[in-house]
Structure 1
Amino acid sequence: MPGLYPVTFGEIELLRDLDRQDGWVLSKDGVPQSYVDLQDPTYLDFEYVQLMADVIDVLPEGPLSCVHVGGGACTIPRYVATTRPGSRHIVIEPDGLLVNLIREQLDLRSVPRLKVLVMDGREGAARVWDSSADLVVLDAFAGATMPVELATAEYMGDLARVLRASGTLLVNLADGKGLAFARRLTATVQDTFGHVALLSEPGVLRGRRFGNLILAASRTALPVDLLTRRAAGGLTQARCLHGDALTRFVAGAAPIRDGEPVLAPVPPPAVFG
């Protein structure tokens, strides 16, 4: 049912998509957090989620063992469960009432082989076994802001511990003019993983508007040529930076360390207004 629902960390609004009978938007404080189509989990409404799916689709065929830091409405677990039957999912989400809401209202029980850990991202990742995941998806936001404690070199090291040697990390971040946070977070991921690519819409990459950027990282080579073609061929006509282009983007930015007074960017009011 559409409406406002109290959760552990505030209030969530469920909104029906008037253009799709089974489409739902989960929103918090006026910021859209997740979109799901209950009958077609392969329909991805948000552009940045489409880019994450582009990366997932080029991974080796077959089921994946996945860890998702940040639950929301579990859009990516639903997508992977549909496109790669037999996949396993651990979802780390600190808001237990939100998890209950998604179970009851958005049919989370229909996603097979999914386990939820109700704890914060750092505590939850520490509970996951070494070398147990093919894919880690870090998509955790407090409203429209990424928690800085999930953007540090120390945390990236813990996610690398969870991943198998050939595993892939996906990070959703948001930034605006100057892209200072995006550069530092990219440097942080590069400090841990040898192979990194950054995907986003050209206007966001140029710092012309606030928006989402996707980092893909692995200790083995990424299929960057294929990713570049897939990103450019989508509706967003996104770019994929890697190699020398990504080095120029980072421009010597320093990795983020635990305890540093780093502020994650907050979107201008007009972005969601």
Structure 2
Amino acid sequence: MPDVDRERAWLLTVDGAPQSYVDLDDPEHLEFEYARRLAHVLDCAAEPGIPLDLLHLGGGALTLPRYAAATRPGSRQTVVEFDAGLVELVAEHLPLPAGADVTVHTADARAWLAGAEPASADLVVADVFGGSRVPAPLTSVEYAREAARVLRPGGVYAANLADGAPFGFLRAQLANFGTVFAELALIAEPGVLRGRRFGNAVLLASDEPLPAAVLARRCAADAFPARVEDGPALARFMRGAVPVSDAQAVASPEPPEGAFSLG
């Protein structure tokens, strides 16, 4: 069950693992590195301050929607969160700021996506975990096609994933989205990419060139620097990977004990 602890901000944990961090006084403060990387993607999705239509698959404590509302006022945001109890807890304890145009739906992400309007989003952010694993319905090439259908031309798909060497899951996800999108990139800490530890990686996909160089500079400047892999380097990482269908899809691997604990 979710727990929320407060000091000057709020930390949401699920089964003892940190899930979301919210500073109600400063929505632009992002404590977790993967959230910062997703925010960098949002920052680079259009010129600063321009409102966007955003679809968030997985809501958590609405950390990124709060950030988007603060940095891109006027953005229309849709959040799809499966956990009704979590939605109620966040609404009670972590209200959104006045004027934030955020609509939260309690629904299954894949089912909701199938019914979404085509070409309705500038950015789709997927941060969906059942416990500590990405559910199988969100790991197939058919799911990648649904995400592409909802994006406008030039739109960006960004997913928070987790894997470790030999990266069978992550490479398959890249193969899925490489089947559907012309451009791919991957953001992760060097230690993760080198197979030294299990960790988060942000997968990016678009039908137009991604701002990899700008993202690389931003991610390199973080407290825990990350690399942006694209082009030939990413092709080498993906070599031999094949897409997986709905019939073949499985959830992401179980993290090693303590991989995402508060320590």
Runs of 4+ in 1 over 4 A off after TM superposition: none
Structure 2: distance between partners of 1:87 and 1:237: 29
Is the partner of 1:15 in helix, strand or coil? strand
| Structure 1 residue 192, shift from structure 2 partner | 1.0
1:204 aligns with 2:179: no
Give the TM-score, by structure 2 length. Answer: 0.95
Structure 1: distance between partners of 2:99 and 2:16: 27
Structure 2: distance between partners of 1:34 and 1:202: 23
What residue in structure 2 maps to residue 80 of structure 1? 68
Tell whether the 8 Å contact from 1:153 to 1:258 is kept in structure 2 after alignment. Answer: yes
| Aligned residue among 111, 126, 133 for 2:121 | 133
Q: Which amino acid aligns with 1:32?
A: P
User: Equivalences for 1:97-176 in 2 at 5 Å?
Assistant: 97-108=85-96, 110=98, 112-176=100-164
CA gap 1:261/1:125 in 2 versus in 1, 3 angstroms: closer
User: Equivalences for 1:181-260 in 2 at 5 Å?
Assistant: 181-260=169-248
1:50 aligns with 2:36: yes
What residue in structure 1 maps to residue 14 of structure 2? 28
| Structure 1 residue 92, shift from structure 2 partner | 0.6
Q: Which amino acid aligns with 1:140?
A: V
Structure 2: distance between partners of 1:252 and 1:209: 22
Q: Structure 2: 5+ residue runs without aligned partners?
A: none
Tell whether the 8 Å contact from 1:31 to 1:143 is kept in structure 2 after alignment. Answer: no
CA gap 1:109/1:57 in 2 versus in 1, 3 angstroms: closer
Tell whether the 8 Å contact from 1:78 to 1:111 is kept in structure 2 after alignment. Answer: no
Q: Which amino acid aligns with 1:33?
A: Q
CA gap 1:111/1:104 in 2 versus in 1, 3 angstroms: farther
| Structure 1 residue 270, shift from structure 2 partner | 2.4
Moved more, 54-63 or 76-85: 54-63
Moved more, 42-51 or 110-119: 110-119
Tell whether the 8 Å contact from 1:66 to 1:88 is kept in structure 2 after alignment. Answer: yes
| Structure 1 residue 263, shift from structure 2 partner | 4.2
1:91 aligns with 2:79: yes
Moved more, 50-59 or 133-142: 50-59
Structure 1: distance between partners of 2:36 and 2:244: 27
Is the partner of 1:108 in helix, strand or coil? coil
For 1:195-247, what per-residue CA distance to the aligned partner results, in whole angstroms no more than 9, with x for missing partners? Answer: 11100100011111111000111101111111122111222221000000000
| Structure 1 residue 97, shift from structure 2 partner | 2.0
1:15 aligns with 2:1: no
Moved more, 105-114 or 212-221: 105-114
Moved more, 229-238 or 63-72: 229-238
RMSD value over aligned CA atoms? 1.3
Tell whether the 8 Å contact from 1:12 to 1:27 is kept in structure 2 after alignment. Answer: yes
What residue in structure 2 maps to residue 38 of structure 1? 24
Is the partner of 2:86 in helix, strand or coil? helix
Aligned-pair identity (%): 46
Q: Structure 1: 5+ residue runs without aligned partners?
A: 1-10
Give the TM-score, by structure 1 length. Answer: 0.91
